[in-house]
Chains A and B, each alone.
Chain A
Amino acid sequence: MGGEITLGHYLVLSGALFLIGLAGVVLRRSLLVVMMSLELLLNAANLALVAVGRFQGIPDPQVAVFFVITVAAAEAALGLAILVAIFRIKKTTAADQMASLRF
């Protein structure tokens, strides 16, 4: 494991995490997993933010991440609530079954 760890490492890691999350969002049928993947996306962004803030020496990105976590919590709560509501009607959590809003 030669070489120093640079900001670039963190950014690539963040990007990889983002892509994994993206794949989850796009490919998985279960809305639960889709929402988990959304959390991964948010985390990837958080990681990049904190890393850049760390190497630039500014504390504000950390505040932003704090807010992101807050909003993510709210999002998760609401998203799951919607999921529960849909499940009551559709008896499923499969994303491809939820195509009522089409022509």
Chain B
Amino acid sequence: MIAYSPYLVLLLPLFAALVIRLFLHPFPRFAISVSTLACLGSFIGSLLLLFSGALGSTVAIPAIPWIEFAGLKADFGLLMDPLARLMATLVSGIALLVHIYSIGYLKEDPHRSRFFAELSLFVFSMMGIVLADNLVTMFLFWELVGLSSYLLIGFWFDRPAAGAAANKAFLVNRIGDFGFILGILGVWSLFGTVSLVDLPSSLAASPGGWAVTAVGLGLFCGCLGKSAQFPLHVWLPDSMEGPTPVSSLLHAATMVVAGVYMLIRVLPILELSTVTMTTIAWVGGAMTLLPALIACQQNDIKRILAYSTLSEIAYMVMAVGLGVTGPAMYHLTMHAFFKCLLFLAAGSVIHGCHEVQDIWKMGGLGKRMPFTAIVTGIGTLALCGIPPLSGFWSKDEIFAATAHHPALALVSMVAGFFTSFFMLRLILVAFGGSPRSEGARHAHEGSASLIFPMLILAILSVAGGFLPVNSFLGVAPEGTHVSWTLWVSLVLALAGFVPAFFIYRVATRDPLSIPILQGKFYVDEFYNRVLVANQDGLGKLADAFEGWVVRGFLVRGSGVMARAAGQGLRLVQCGQVQVYATVFILGALSLLWWILKSGVR
């Protein structure tokens, strides 16, 4: 039984979600306690696993037989390699902090029981993705994560925008998941196994060629959806309609990086095809820059951060595409710290300003919310990769990997420039100057439950770079090499602060107005015009077909035919006994005639 105890890490949040959903809905206090304690238990368990792994102890965790048919064997098992241990710790740790933060943030929400149930469900699903030892199980949890994301984005479902955003996230993710499941099926048919443990050894039988490329791209599709990369990135900014802790946990720190995590898991397959790897690298490279540009002209504090998230995830994707998983995972961890911190700070601002989200309606918050201002500053410096904060170390490793790909290096470093620009813009506009709205004038710091998680995350953001992530991962540090990329990226990042400082130091409204950036490169509009319109046409066509052919001709037509036949035949049913007798006689006569004709003799 002891051998199964690691499953507790996975199952505790599920248990919490079920208990809250079934019994504790009317008792928010208990619901919050159960949810938070479950998360705490999960975190402690993960931590134990992490350190036992770091100390070299390998406990075999028995798998539970699940699916077995026609050569498809998918057991329900936990994969406890260093990567999974690290990721599990990260997820449950951040989740725990967000739980604590949510206690204060949603203090007055009447539906917080539901919120915590959904949050627990998310933690369960996310841990499932992290610990899944085969692709089928991973896909199962992948979908569960999609579900909890849908529920949490639409938590305030009485707001039309939240409902629409939840639907959008769900639908866009379906597209990616479709590719993912095709990829899984492809893996199964090409390599005969979906187990992540057996996969590397069965790759020798790879047929190569376009099939492997297709499979790799299919798996990448899953990442595109979940990690919100181009062209499926449109749902992430909209998902900011959800409560800020959700944005912080799901849409910055953990869920959206699931795609990257998955890519790292299946990297051996991806590496079989140069086309796949190049595609991933370039999609990642391009996506570092585009959202950074868009973010420069956004005014919603959470959306700015959301675009920044897109950009940062793209760094990880690019790193995977370049075949370096260590830096990708490193940056994933660091990003979780500082982006979660930034979102929590944004949440604190929104909370303090009474639901104001437009940075141009803030202003002067530095004096009223000094703690939030400081942690935002720390987060910004970490995000921009200023040494010696956490972001610097991880970004540096990624830049170092691009050293032999100058084009990618250039694009991603320019993205760093714009990242610095829009982050300083955010800080100057929101925290500098004087208040520009009633909400900002009465801004105040939140309670301890808001402050504490931010404090922890701020410490991690500052000192995260010194965490032995690589040794947890079992990757040998690559030695201290200083490449040209370090200097160029650093100079560009610092340079980004300069124009922002001069443009936004005293601005009360945005002096820049670049329509294409405000319009987010019109991707949404493109989808609306082209895809949605075509789909509407297709829908109308199908409706017409259904209405005229299926309903009209087949269904109603056959009905009308039967009716007409009945109308005709009931004329025969005249009620006159003698007419019946006549018909009967005619029948008998023809029968007789037929018998004689066919010859009885």
Binds A, one of B296-304, B381-389, B397-405, B572-580: B572-580
A95 touching B578 in the complex, CB below 8 Å, given contacts A22-B585, A103-B570: yes
Task: Specify which of A22, A98, A103 is in contact with B577 (CB 8 Å cutoff).
Answer: A98
A103 touching B573 in the complex, CB below 8 Å, given contacts A22-B585, A26-B582, A26-B585: yes
A6 interface residue per 8 A CB criterion: no
Residues of B within 8 A of A99 (CB): 574-576
Beta-carbon contact of A26 and B574 below 8 Å: no
B482 interface residue per 8 A CB criterion: no
Task: Specify which of B573, B578, B581, B585 is in contact with A102 (CB 8 Å cutoff).
Answer: B573
Min CB distance A85 to B, Å, is 15
Measured CA separation A100–B573 after assembly (Å)? 11
Q: Give the nearest-CB partner of A96 in chain B.
A: B576
Q: Which of A45-101 contact B (CB under 8 A)?
A: 95-96, 98-101
A25 interface residue per 8 A CB criterion: yes
Beta-carbon contact of A26 and B578 below 8 Å: yes
Task: Specify which of A22, A25, A27, A98 is in contact with B575 (CB 8 Å cutoff).
Answer: A98
Min CB distance B593 to A, Å, is 15
Beta-carbon contact of B578 and A25 below 8 Å: yes
Interface digits, A16-27 against B, CB 8 Å rule (1 contact, 0 not)? 000000100111
Measured CA separation A95–B585 after assembly (Å)? 18
Beta-carbon contact of B582 and A102 below 8 Å: no
Beta-carbon contact of B575 and A26 below 8 Å: no
Measured CA separation A97–B487 after assembly (Å)? 112
Residues of A within 8 A of B581 (CB): 25-26
Q: Which of B550-601 contact A (CB under 8 A)?
A: 570, 573-578, 581-582, 585
Min CB distance A11 to B, Å, is 14
Interface residues on B, range: 10 to 19
Min CB distance A81 to B, Å, is 17
Q: Which of A1-54 contact B (CB under 8 A)?
A: 22, 25-27, 34
Min CB distance B581 to A, Å, is 6
Beta-carbon contact of B570 and A95 below 8 Å: no
Beta-carbon contact of A101 and B582 below 8 Å: no
Beta-carbon contact of A102 and B574 below 8 Å: yes
Residues of A within 8 A of B575 (CB): 98-102
Measured CA separation A22–B586 after assembly (Å)? 11
Measured CA separation A26–B583 after assembly (Å)? 10
Q: Which of B183-205 contact A (CB under 8 A)?
A: none
Residues of B within 8 A of A25 (CB): 578, 581
Residues of A within 8 A of B573 (CB): 101-103
Q: Which of B45-70 contact A (CB under 8 A)?
A: none
Residues of B within 8 A of A96 (CB): 576, 578
Q: Give the nearest-CB partner of B579 in chain A.
A: A26
Interface centre among A22, A27, A96, A100 (most CB of B within 10 A): A96
Residues of B within 8 A of A95 (CB): 576-578
Measured CA separation A99–B571 after assembly (Å)? 13
Measured CA separation A27–B585 after assembly (Å)? 13
Measured CA separation A25–B574 after assembly (Å)? 17
Min CB distance B285 to A, Å, is 79
Q: Give the nearest-CB partner of A102 in chain B.
A: B575
Residues of A within 8 A of B585 (CB): 22, 26
Residues of B within 8 A of A22 (CB): 585
Measured CA separation A79–B585 after assembly (Å)? 20
Measured CA separation A34–B582 after assembly (Å)? 13
Measured CA separation A25–B582 after assembly (Å)? 9
Residues of A within 8 A of B570 (CB): 102-103
Measured CA separation A27–B579 after assembly (Å)? 9
Residues of A within 8 A of B577 (CB): 34, 95, 98
Min CB distance A89 to B, Å, is 15
Measured CA separation A20–B582 after assembly (Å)? 14
Measured CA separation A22–B573 after assembly (Å)? 21
Residues of B within 8 A of A100 (CB): 575
Min CB distance B349 to A, Å, is 79
Q: Give the nearest-CB partner of B585 in chain A.
A: A22
Measured CA separation A102–B575 after assembly (Å)? 5
Q: Give the nearest-CB partner of B582 in chain A.
A: A26
Residues of A within 8 A of B582 (CB): 26
What are 23 A-to-B residue pairs whose CB atoms are below 8 Å? A22-B585, A25-B578, A25-B581, A26-B582, A26-B585, A27-B578, A34-B578, A95-B576, A95-B577, A95-B578, A96-B576, A96-B578, A98-B575, A98-B577, A99-B574, A99-B575, A99-B576, A100-B575, A102-B570, A102-B573, A102-B575, A103-B570, A103-B573
Q: Which residues of B contact A (CB under 8 A)?
A: 570, 573-578, 581-582, 585
5 residue pairs, one from A and one from B, having the closest CB atoms? A99-B575, A102-B575, A103-B570, A101-B575, A26-B578
Known: A95-B576, A99-B575. 19 other contacts (CB 8 A): A22-B585, A25-B581, A26-B578, A26-B581, A26-B582, A34-B577, A34-B578, A95-B578, A96-B576, A98-B575, A98-B577, A99-B576, A100-B575, A101-B575, A102-B573, A102-B574, A102-B575, A103-B570, A103-B573
